[in-house]
A and B are shown apart, each in its own frame.
Chain A
Amino acid sequence: MALASWVVAFVVGTVVGVMRTLPGRILPSIGACYVELFRNVPLLVQLFVWFFVIPDVTPILGDWFKQQVPPIWQEFIAGTACLGLFTGARIAEQVRSGIGSLGPGQLGAGLALGLRRRQVYLLVLLPVAYRILIPTLTSEFLNLIKNTAVASTIGYLELAQRSASMAETTSRVYEAFAAATLLYAALNLLVMLLARALERSTALPGFLGGRK
């Protein structure tokens, strides 16, 4: 679930983040509205909206969703959509500041070379911005892993939930919770180590923290 929502978050975050840096007024303000909306409503409330409200108010798709899709997948889909869009808003801010940190020079240079705006973004700005952003994106991913625990409150059978049911059957609360907590901590440490390796292998010479 963390991986699936990460993909959603990454795509949404990039699109919205780029939108906020484009010229014109409409696209940047749509992007800004999206970010404000998703950052200023608590995650738990958003989960409830995805799980209860949206299937109820969308006519045909909602009925199909409630009747045909097995419960575990319902929870998975609702949870992924919610976490993905929630994290997407955060990533959008980071992509925006990453592109902003490159300065207008690179965009101008790309345009002067005869590239289209889309090409400049895809070939010049985004690759550089992502590399700069790896540390912050990592901490966002760690947050996402932790937030999957929140998603479990709507019932998705994942780590926290699984340990809760284990506790009911074996009535060994201490061990079950210790196990789940350790798992989360271990997962986070693992991601941290991987990210550090990734950071080192993609560091750009010439930037702070780049290879000497």
Chain B
Amino acid sequence: MAFDWSSIPGSLPILWQGMIVTLQITLVGALVGILLGTLLGMLRLSPSRLLSGLSAAYVTIFRSIPLVMVLFWFHLILIPLVAGLLFPGKRLELGFLTALTAFSLFEASYYAEIIRAGILSVTKDQFNAGLALGMKRGQVMRLVILPQAFRRMIPLLLTQAIILFQDSTLVYVINLDDFFRKAYNIGNTVGTLNELILFAGAVYLVICTLASGCVRQLHRKLTVLPVK
């Protein structure tokens, strides 16, 4: 069977719009995810039983539910419910917002685990040393532990962002036009579905291979000699 690639050049502008949506979801998901994840990671390690228990519950719950189900939950129930409470009687275009919230909250649970491991990789002596210098716990965290932890975590955080970039294709199930869904729709209407699916796959392959190559380089550069 022959392939007909002629429909791809003409549809590039539309595909680019989809790519922007994909990139927005990735960026927001990664940033909010890292912020929330840092918070969750620190709570997990806090001396308070209640706080660490809550954080652990959050992380376990989100990690044991498939992302697709999380998206469905937000799409069908949570976001319409909240929107109904805040703006009663209005019909809003919520798909994009749903995706952003769902991805941010979902990724936060994954980032929390990375960040917890990062914090734990800094030795306890440093924490005690900070306390001995008269710093408060918060200050030690912010000024001593987190900078070192983040330096070690950067490659992992970026890898997780690449995974997020790939997972963002799943907004397909909540009818949001990201890059892949745009490609699929064009293929469906023009009748060259195979070509567009393969093309989309190739685009993801190139972007992700390049990105993970960069992360590998960065990892090599950032590695500090192990501190005993």
CB pair A48–B166 under 8 Å, yes or no, is no
CB distance from A138 to the nearest CB of B (A): 13
Complex formed: what's the CA distance from A147 to B169 in Å? 13
Sorted from nearest, which 9 A-B pairs have the closest CB atoms? A40-B208, A149-B66, A146-B66, A42-B166, A188-B64, A44-B169, A149-B68, A42-B169, A53-B194
Identify the closest chain B residue to A186 (Cβ).
Answer: B64
User: Per-residue 0/1 for A151-176: is the Cβ within 8 Å of any B Cβ (1 yes, 0 no)?
Assistant: 01100000010000000000001100
- Residues of B near any A CB (own CB < 8 A): 1, 61, 64-69, 72-73, 76-77, 166-167, 169-170, 172-173, 180, 184, 193-194, 197-198, 200-201, 204-205, 208-209, 212
CB pair B77–A52 under 8 Å, yes or no, is no
Residues on B with beta carbons closer than 8 Å to the beta carbon of A184: 64-66, 69
Contacts A57-B1, A149-B69 given; does A44 touch B64 at CB 8 Å: no
Residues on B with beta carbons closer than 8 Å to the beta carbon of A173: 76-77
Complex formed: what's the CA distance from A184 to B198 in Å? 31
Not counting A49-B197, A52-B197, A59-B1, a sample of 14 additional A-B residue pairs whose C-beta atoms are within 8 angstroms of each other reads: A37-B205, A41-B204, A43-B166, A44-B180, A52-B193, A56-B1, A145-B66, A146-B66, A160-B69, A173-B76, A173-B77, A177-B72, A177-B73, A189-B64
How many residues of chain A get a CB closer than 8 Å to chain B's CBs? 36
Residues on B with beta carbons closer than 8 Å to the beta carbon of A149: 66-69
Identify the closest chain B residue to A189 (Cβ).
Answer: B64
Identify the closest chain B residue to A51 (Cβ).
Answer: B197
Complex formed: what's the CA distance from A104 to B172 in Å? 46
CB distance from A185 to the nearest CB of B (A): 5
Which residues of chain A (90-139) have a CB below 8 Å from chain B? Answer: none
CB distance from B73 to the nearest CB of A (A): 6
Secondary structure dominating the interface of B: helix
Residues on B with beta carbons closer than 8 Å to the beta carbon of A145: 66
- Residues of A near any B CB (own CB < 8 A): 36-37, 39-46, 48-49, 52-53, 56-57, 59, 142, 145-150, 152-153, 160, 173-174, 177, 180-181, 184-185, 188-189
Residues on A with beta carbons closer than 8 Å to the beta carbon of B65: 146, 181, 184-185
CB pair A153–B173 under 8 Å, yes or no, is yes
CB pair B201–A46 under 8 Å, yes or no, is yes
Complex formed: what's the CA distance from A146 to B68 in Å? 9
Complex formed: what's the CA distance from A189 to B212 in Å? 31
Residues on A with beta carbons closer than 8 Å to the beta carbon of B72: 160, 177
CB pair A49–B198 under 8 Å, yes or no, is yes
Interface centre among A36, A56, A146, A149 (most CB of B within 10 A): A149
Identify the closest chain B residue to A58 (Cβ).
Answer: B1
CB distance from B137 to the nearest CB of A (A): 31
CB distance from A212 to the nearest CB of B (A): 23
CB distance from B113 to the nearest CB of A (A): 11
Complex formed: what's the CA distance from A48 to B209 in Å? 20
Residues on B with beta carbons closer than 8 Å to the beta carbon of A56: 1, 194
Residues on A with beta carbons closer than 8 Å to the beta carbon of B167: 42
Residues on B with beta carbons closer than 8 Å to the beta carbon of A48: 184, 197
CB pair A41–B201 under 8 Å, yes or no, is yes
Name the contact of B180 in the complex, choosing from A37, A45, A147, A148 (C-beta under 8 A): A45
